[in-house]
Chains A and B, each alone.
Chain A
Amino acid sequence: MMNPNSIVEAATKLANQATQMAQDAASLANQATLLTQQTAGGGSAFISLLTVFVLAVFVGYYVVWGVTPALHSPLMSVTNAVSSVVIVGALIAAGPAGFSGAKVMGFLAVVLASVNIFGGFIVTQRMLAMFKKKQK
């Protein structure tokens, strides 16, 4: 039963399995390193998102306060156009190949957001053209 050949074969099999497991462990360690590197330098993802939010609040507050009162209508119009950057989410929803309910919703959202983008910037342009004549 226990002849040298089968022992050699069994040992070779075991050695191959051990190598395979070592490779799996190495790739798992790599993945773990990558994951920790992706969350910004030691902090959690929540803190980095919170940082972006707080800074955005400050920037938005001071930038909007810098708008002269005469230009508040174009401000409304251009912030409307900029808010249609949600088209990015709609593009991702409508992106995948194939047919799905999410894709239909995404397509409708792309149409609506495009109306808003083109219309919004053109309306702003018209309002500002009006201003340019007056100020001259």
Chain B
Amino acid sequence: MSENFAAFAYLIAAVCFIMALRGLASPVTARAGNVWGIAGMAVAILTTLMMPGVLSYTVIVVGIAIGGAIGTVTAKKIQMTALPQLVAAFHSLVGLAAVFIA
């Protein structure tokens, strides 16, 4: 039962991500699309935290807090003209994360 619930929640998260990309079809809907993306990510993370094997919540929360702080500060302080380079740098970080996961 819990497995079905998790699979269903991941499906909802996937739909949210697709709606996020759809929001970029026009500038009017683009900002709402960003919110869809955030919602989908939140659903996926919360569902995973509720899974039976995930127990060490302190470690995880500390990790998210550290990463979130670095990301927020960096994204807010950087100059507008340097934004594409920042996106590229972030891409490399998530690739490194995928390597660690593997």
Complex Cα distance, B34 from A104, in Å, reads 31
B72 CB contacts on chain A under 8 angstroms: 118-119, 122
Q: Please, which residues of chain B bring their CB within 8 A of the CB of A96?
A: 53-56
**Contact in complex: B53, A116 (CB < 8 Å):** no
Q: Which residue of B lies closest to A88 (CB)?
A: B48
**With a CB–CB cut-off of 8 A, which chain A residues contact B55?**
95-97
- Would you call B63 and A74 a contact (CB within 8 A)? no
Q: Are A82 and B40 in contact (CB under 8 A)?
A: yes
With A78-B20, A80-B94, A126-B75 as known contacts, state yes or no: A109 contacts B34, CB within 8 Å.
no
- Tally of chain A residues near chain B (CB < 8 A): 64
Task: List chain A residues, Cβ under 8 A from B64.
Answer: 110-111, 114
Q: Report the Cα distance A78→B94, complex, angstroms.
A: 13
Question: Which of B18, B37, B97 has a CB less than 8 Å from the CB of A87?
Answer: B97
A125 within 8 A of B: yes
B100 and A90 contacting across the interface, CB-CB below 8 Å: yes
Whether the pair A112, B67 counts as a contact (CB closer than 8 A) is: yes
Which residues of chain A are within 8 angstroms of B63 by Cβ–Cβ distance? Answer: 94, 107, 110-111, 114
Which of B24, B49, B68, B93 is the most central at the interface, judged by chain A CB atoms within 10 Å of its CB? B24
Q: Which residues from chain B contact A80 at a C-beta distance below 8 Å? A: 87, 90-91, 94
Q: Which residues of B, 54-72, contact A by the 8 Å Cβ criterion?
A: 54-56, 59-60, 63-68, 70-72
Residues in A with CB closer than 8 Å to B65 are 114
Is A115 in contact with B41, judged by CB distance below 8 angstroms? no
Task: Say yes or no: A121-B30 contact (C-beta < 8 A), given A63-B18, A105-B100, A110-B67.
Answer: no
A120 to B51, CA, bound (A): 26
Which B residues are within 8 Å of any A CB, using their own CB? 13, 17-18, 20-22, 24-28, 30-31, 33-34, 37-38, 40-41, 44-45, 48-49, 51, 53-56, 59-60, 63-68, 70-72, 74-76, 80, 83-84, 86-87, 90-91, 93-94, 96-98, 100-101
Across the A-B interface, give the 4 residue pairs with the lowest CB-CB distance, nearest first.
A114-B67, A119-B71, A95-B54, A118-B71
- Pairs A–B under 8 Å by Cβ, sample size 15: A70-B27, A73-B83, A80-B94, A85-B17, A97-B55, A103-B56, A105-B100, A112-B96, A114-B66, A114-B67, A115-B67, A117-B68, A117-B71, A118-B75, A122-B71
